[in-house]
Amino acid sequence: MKFVCYCTILLLLFSERNMAQQPITFQHFGVGEGLSSADVTTIFQDSRGYMWIGTGNGLNRGNGKQFTVYTVSTDSSKTSLPNAKIRSIFEDRHKSIWIGTSAGLSKYNPQLEKFTNFTEVGDCKNCLAGRIIKVIKEDGNYLWLGTNAGLSKINTKTNEITSWWHKEGRDNIPSIYSIIDILLLKNGSLLLATHEGLVVFNPKQDIFTEITIPLKLQEKGLGALFQDSFGTIWIGTNYDGVIQMTGDWQHPNFKHFPQLVDAEEGRTTVYDFEEDANGRLWTSSYLGVSVLNQKNNKINYYRSKADSPTSISQNPIKKIYKDAQNRMWLGSRAGIDLFDPYLNQFEILKHDSDNAQSISNNNTFSILEDSKGYLWFGFMDSGISVLWKDENGTEQYHHITAGIGNRHLKHNSVYALEEDKKGNIWASSPGGLHILEWKDRSKFEYTISTVPEGSITENKLPERRIYEIKNDADNKTWLATHSAGIIAFDTHGAAQQFLFEDQNPELSSKDFVVTLNIDAKKRVWTGNFNLGGAVIQDPTSETSFKKIKGDAPFYLKVVNDYFFDENEALLTTEDGVFHFSNVEELLTSENPNHIKYTEESGLSSNFTSEIIKTNTHEFWISTVNGLTKLNTAEKKATSFKKILNARDFEFNHNSAVLTTDSIAYFGGTHGIVRFKPSEIYKNPHPPRVSFSDFRILNVPVPISSEKTKRTSIPKNIAYIENIILKTSDKIISFTIDAVNFTLPEETRYAYKLEGFDETWIESESPVITRSNLDPGTYTLLAKASNNDGVWSNTASLKLEMPTPWFQSWWAYFLYFILAIGGVYLLLKLRLQQERRIELARAQERDIFRKRSSRDFHDEAGTKITRIALITELARIENPKNKELQKHLLQIDDNIQDLNNGMRDFIWTLDPSNDNAYDTLNRYTEFAGKFCEIANIKFHSDAISEELKTKELNMAERRHLLMILKEATNNLVKHGNPTVVHFGVKHKPGKLVLKLKDNGNGFDTTQENSGNGLTNMRERAEALGGALKIDSKTNGGTTLTLTLETTRLGN
């Protein structure tokens, strides 16, 4: 009895359900958007934001702009799915993706991009209970798998599988053949929805318990399980709609909940449940989707409509999924339907031919809120719809159309609506100007009359085509007409007409008035064809309207609306919005100060229509391509054309209002946009950014752990922090993978290669390409923004370009050595060349010297011999002439001296004697003879024949001989020695010559200015040697000459 009473109360509560669809819009994804199949079976979002869509023919991973498809590969060398029919998807805590298919389970490693499959089924170790994996749930390090033949559990670390299935002899496992859904309970148990009913499994005790549902169900089969944030468990059935379960497991309460299914008695197949961010319960069934607001118990139903491209694609919705951005994903055999709360901030009222409680037409010409809070909508060809809320707060519509009688309009096109101070509604149409009196709104008892048409002098209406109506503070009603200028009716019905001040026939089109408004000073401002704008400054005294003095900025651009805000004015035109900070300047100055806003400033279109003020300095403006929010203080315009799900939403003139409860209405060709301006928010979800599609020379870089000649990476580029490139990688490219499903076409990208780029580079393309990087370390930074300019976190990737071997330090060292060696080689070659030249010259000189010495010897010897013979003959022939004998003897002595000198000269000239050995022997011969004549003993050390290798050039031989001869001459002449000793010592690189006597000696401390010693020292220096003289009075003299043999002979 209690159960019956409760159900009755429940039904009464939900009698307030909203049978009409609350207008929301869905985006669609199908094969045309890249899905491998439109038959969507499951949906999941991973931790990186990607949406995984399982279909009847493959697995899809989407980022908002494209889908990557995974299916069964025909290439046996590559890992792939075991089957293309996807049943379930899940990401475990280790970030692996698990895919249930119709032929087993697959584990996808996104880092290595590899699949590991588990397909063994049956009574065996690590085998699945069934081949078809219908549901996957995570419990710690385990995944619970619902299959077509029982329950399985897999350890996500070890891949160890445990299974439970029914077979004869297993009393603890009931006949659970196909598990459709699994719900993890707080006590650690599992609630299983199966084809045979509801089962609870306690894994700790390994006990299965069948739960009896005490309701009259036509079938046992269950389809879906869901526990909402209130703790209520919702059960979907195969045929009997929705069952609600409350209470505890000892005393569960089950109730049939027919209201969640838009069907008779709520009997149909229910596929899935989901709860959105506002706590509303979404239920998908064979008949469509219902949304239960559990706060006010109202339900909205959504079905597919052939004439509505933003409705769900088809009624049977198999899957509902809420992502991290609170979007609702609906999967069916017609693809994906996506509900995005951000894109549904603007509610769009549309005509529904099956529902009288909707607007009567989409093409809205005029909107009015009257003094009682009723909203009036005038349409292109269906009259007027009146919207209000009843005592329960439910919106109600009443429609007024053209027809016969005083409850109908004369024509269904309604151009303008206005309320006068008496509460009457004025409505203009091609059938005339209507006045509707409806005093008692509790009844549909109203009358409609029309203003008589005729001459203005008869206080009648001269033109029925009226584009705007305004009622001023004095209850005078002003009409903007098609060709009759402005008409005004006062409270007594007296009519007054205002025409353009210049009635030149060529200017007659200026009496076509499309808009008018009245400012606080009761001035009437108009928008006119072929003029732009006009004004009646004093309607009490003037009888015409005239051109605005300061209209230069918008001349010949029709003003569609005026908005006066204290001393400021905003004008919408076909060429943008004009903001005048001082409205008086429009009347006094030809160049009033103003700011113009266009599409470049942020307007959704330059053709602007209506203005409503929603806050201080904040205005909303309708255009032919969406809405714009304008902040005059910040001088900033924000476009809202993409966010309106009906793309290219064109708004109409004279069709906007901000209601007393701060709700904005804008009418257009596709319906009426309704929203609360204070609740419109920016898209708070930036894209999720990583790197993808790493290429070198436009060839994808493979994933490989082995070292290869080409550059490879050990795992997916998104999981890599550092890449070491090869010097041959001249052109590299990356793609910024921005995961964004809200207006992804509005995504913008920015990147910066630190070490190469000085500033961030913004782009509409996600591809980054760089070429010919210098050796060094770089950091690639990337980010992306959503449609509202909210930027993501920055992804970074370190790039190392190694130094080529030819630019390494050791290469430069080698270059240096080679350069030094090259210079050395060049110098050596040059020296060798010079030596060869010098050798050739020396050889030539030697030949010349030898020839000269031989010739000189022959020629001079002959002459001297002849002189000696003649002298000798003269001495023989004149023996008695003593004086002559004396002179002849002197001549003979001189001839001998000359002969000896000539012999020395010839000896010096002969190149065969150019060595130290011959030179020293030549000296000893001279010294021996010289000392012998002086009766002095001369001793000499043996001269080593090794000195033959010590070359002396001609000058050096002469210097050496002259030093030794001079020294010998001096010691014999001045020292009076009895013994002279000549010593020769030869060491490597040195030659030491000593000439020692036992004569008188001399005092070396006394200054000696003789030329002999001076010449000897100069000759020693010329030889590069050192001359040392040691002498003592009466102690003999020692002369030591030290020569460096390495310096001789050059």
877: helix, coil or strand? helix
pLDDT of residue 217: 81
- Cα separation, 6 vs 12, whole angstroms: 10
Contacts of 242 (CB under 8 A, 6+ apart): 234, 235, 236, 256, 257, 258, 260, 261, 266, 270, 283
The closest of 260, 284, 299 to 18, measured between CA atoms, is 299
pLDDT of residue 170: 63
Q: What is the mean pLDDT of the chain?
A: 89
What is the side-by-side order of every strand in the sheet holding 233-237? 222-227, 233-237, 242-247, 252-256
Q: Could you please report the per-residue DSSP string of 13-76?
A: HGGG---SPP----EEE-GGGT-S-S-EEEEEE-TTSPEEEEETTEEEEE-SS-EEEE---S-T
Q: Could you please report the per-residue DSSP string of 376-432?
A: EEEESSS-EEEEEE-TTS-EEEEEE-B-SSTTSBS-S---EEEE-TTSPEEEEETTE
Provide the 8-state DSSP code for 973: I
Flag whether pLDDT at 1007 surpasses 60. Answer: no
pLDDT of residue 649: 84
81: helix, coil or strand? coil
∠ CA 1004-1006-1009 to the nearest 5 degrees? Answer: 100
Contacts of 180 (CB under 8 A, 6+ apart): 134, 135, 146, 193, 194, 195, 221, 222, 223, 224
- Domains, the chain, ordered by start: 1-33+214-345 (2.130.10.10), 69-211 (2.130.10.10), 692-807 (2.60.40.10), 916-1050 (3.30.565.10)
Q: What is the CA radius of gyration of the chain?
A: 59
CB-based contacts of 712-718 (< 8 A; 24+ apart in sequence): 715/111, 715/112, 716/110, 716/111, 716/112, 716/113, 716/692, 717/691, 717/692, 717/693, 717/797, 718/48, 718/110, 718/690, 718/691, 718/692
pLDDT of residue 263: 78
Mean pLDDT along residues 755-784? 95
Mean pLDDT along residues 653-677? 95
Flag whether pLDDT at 455 surpasses 80. Answer: yes
Flag whether pLDDT at 956 surpasses 90. Answer: no
Phi-psi region of 776 (alpha: psi -120 to 50; beta: other; left: phi over 0): left
Q: Which stretch of 180-194, 489-503, 686-700, 1017-1031 has the lowest confidence by average pLDDT?
A: 1017-1031
pLDDT of residue 15: 36
276: helix, coil or strand? coil
Residue in the block written with tokens 């030659």: 991
pLDDT tens digits, one per residue of 30-81: 999 999 999 999 999 999 999 999 999 999 999 999 999 999 988 877 889 9
109: helix, coil or strand? strand
Residue in the block written with tokens 């000793």: 981
pLDDT of residue 716: 95
pLDDT of residue 5: 36
Q: Which stretch of 251-260, 821-830, 860-869 has the lowest confidence by average pLDDT?
A: 860-869
pLDDT of residue 678: 95
Contacts of 165 (CB under 8 A, 6+ apart): 129, 130, 149, 150, 151, 173, 176
With bands split at pLDDT 50, 70 and 90, how would you rate the model's confidence at 172?
low
With bands split at pLDDT 50, 70 and 90, how would you rate the model's confidence at 914?
confident
Other beta carbons less than 10 A from residue 1007's beta carbon:
5
Name the β-bridge partners of 1040. Answer: 994, 1028
Mean pLDDT along residues 770-792? 95
With bands split at pLDDT 50, 70 and 90, how would you rate the model's confidence at 1031?
confident
Q: Could you please report the per-residue DSSP string of 718-781?
A: GG-SEEE--TT--EEEEEEEEE--SSGGG-EEEEEEETT-SS-EEES--EEEEESPPSEEEEEE
Mean pLDDT along residues 530-545? 92
Flag whether pLDDT at 631 surpasses 80. Answer: yes
Name the β-bridge partners of 246. Answer: 253
CB-CB contact of 177 with 166 (8 Å): yes
The closest of 632, 664, 625, 512 to 565, measured between CA atoms, is 632
pLDDT of residue 464: 93
Phi-psi region of 497 (alpha: psi -120 to 50; beta: other; left: phi over 0): beta
What is the side-by-side order of every strand in the sheet holding 1026-1031? 937-940, 979-987, 990-997, 1037-1044, 1026-1031
pLDDT of residue 508: 54
The closest of 317, 343, 369, 252 to 661, measured between CA atoms, is 369
Residue in the block written with tokens 């399985």: 152
**For residue 870, what is the enclosing H or E element?**
helix 809-877
pLDDT of residue 22: 62
Half-sphere exposure (Cβ direction) of 150: Cα atoms closer than 13 Å? 21
The closest of 240, 290, 300 to 268, measured between CA atoms, is 240
Other beta carbons less than 10 A from residue 801's beta carbon:
21
CB-CB contact of 635 with 594 (8 Å): no
Comparing 169 with 159, the larger pLDDT belongs to: 159
Contacts of 204 (CB under 8 A, 6+ apart): 188
Half-sphere exposure (Cβ direction) of 153: Cα atoms closer than 13 Å? 12
The closest of 402, 398, 414 to 365, measured between CA atoms, is 414
Contacts of 717 (CB under 8 A, 6+ apart): 691, 692, 693, 694, 701, 723, 734, 797
Flag whether pLDDT at 908 surpasses 80. Answer: no
pLDDT tens digits, one per residue of 400-411: 999 999 999 999
pLDDT tens digits, one per residue of 9-38: 333 334 344 444 567 889 999 999 999 999
- Cα separation, 174 vs 235, whole angstroms: 20
Flag whether pLDDT at 97 surpasses 80. Answer: yes
Flag whether pLDDT at 954 surpasses 80. Answer: no
CB environment 626-663: b (16+ within 10 A), e (fewer): bbbbbebeeeebbbbbebbbbeebbbbbbbbbbeeeeb
Burial of 323 (0-12, 13-18, 19+ CB in 10 A): middle
Contacts of 834 (CB under 8 A, 6+ apart): none
Four-residue CA torsion sign, 673, 676, 679, 681 = positive
Four-residue CA torsion sign, 789, 795, 798, 799 = negative
- Cα separation, 733 vs 600, whole angstroms: 33
Flag whether pLDDT at 158 surpasses 60. Answer: yes
Q: Which stretch of 164-173, 637-646, 712-721, 733-742 has the lowest confidence by average pLDDT?
A: 164-173
Length of the chain: 1050
Select the highest-mean-pLDDT range: 112-126, 327-341, 629-643, 977-991.
327-341
CB-CB contact of 791 with 797 (8 Å): no
pLDDT of residue 355: 86
pLDDT of residue 2: 34
Mean pLDDT along residues 496-506? 83
pLDDT of residue 283: 97
Residue in the block written with tokens 């065969």: 912
pLDDT of residue 647: 62
Q: Which stretch of 86-100, 483-497, 907-921 has the lowest confidence by average pLDDT?
A: 907-921
Phi-psi region of 228 (alpha: psi -120 to 50; beta: other; left: phi over 0): beta
With bands split at pLDDT 50, 70 and 90, how would you rate the model's confidence at 165?
confident
- Cα separation, 420 vs 477, whole angstroms: 7
Flag whether pLDDT at 8 surpasses 50. Answer: no
- Cα separation, 470 vs 479, whole angstroms: 7
Comparing 1 with 67, the larger pLDDT belongs to: 67
